[in-house]
Structure 1
Amino acid sequence: MEAAVNEARETDTGVGLIRRAMMFLAVALVVTVVVVAGLLLIGEVRWDEVVGFIEWFSRSTAFGAIIAGTLALTAAWLAYHGVQQTIRSTETREREKARHERFTTIVTQLASNQPAVRLGGLYAVSALADEWEREARRLISVSDSAGEWRDKERAWA
């Protein structure tokens, strides 16, 4: 349970997305080192060729600029999607908070001694139930659409 809560927090702040990107870069680096070591071991590449490539790479400003630009664009993309994810989760939380506040107000109205206030509470319950039903139908529709796509993918496979 706590792991799910921590994962949700990481997703809300975009930290999970950044961690995945860093993990991808680390794996790419490890794979590169393993491939170069393997090529050295089987004799396909000599050590002086590897050193020569590293020297060329360090002198090549154009190639460095391309790498820096790619990293900058990746960082910008990650930041943008992290912000968008945070905005969506904040909007969802605020919407739910507003619904719960409305529900609390409605319960207070239903507990009132005045018949007119109780009647207003009944109308408010009806409106809130309609809103929750629309939201539930939208979520079910999205879920059904995803299920249909999964079924089509299985049929095509």
Structure 2
Amino acid sequence: TEDLDNNFNFNTAISAIMELVNAMYAHKDKAETINSSLANELTHSLLLLLAPFVPHMTEELWHELGETTSIHTENWPVFEEAALVVDEVEVVLQVNGKVRDKLTVSVNITKEELETLAKESSRVQEFTEGKNIVKVIYVPGKLVNIVVK
């Protein structure tokens, strides 16, 4: 919405839609059963988001879903900000700048706790064993890079 409303950044808007589609596929691959109402809502939202870019195709698909009104008279999708809050993040563990492992941790984990978990990782230990740890670079919620010599 921000990409289209203020900046006319069509490429980043389309990229965000592609991220949504990828997340939909990832959810489908993980889920044992698909919630049909969720799938229906996602499909409708996806078509609404695509409508400014491919108006004729989305209009046809909209009617294929059983809708009788024009997709272009529908309200633009809105999001719930509370739904964007995450409890866990995936943190990359690096040794000398090369990815060696990944951990899923609480967003509230402290720097010290994360460094300890990183050093305890068997994949990280393979590359730090017998070497001196010179420095530990910490980027909150993103990565821990252990520099060794």
TM-score norm. by structure 1 comes to 0.25
Structure showing the higher helix proportion among its residues: 1
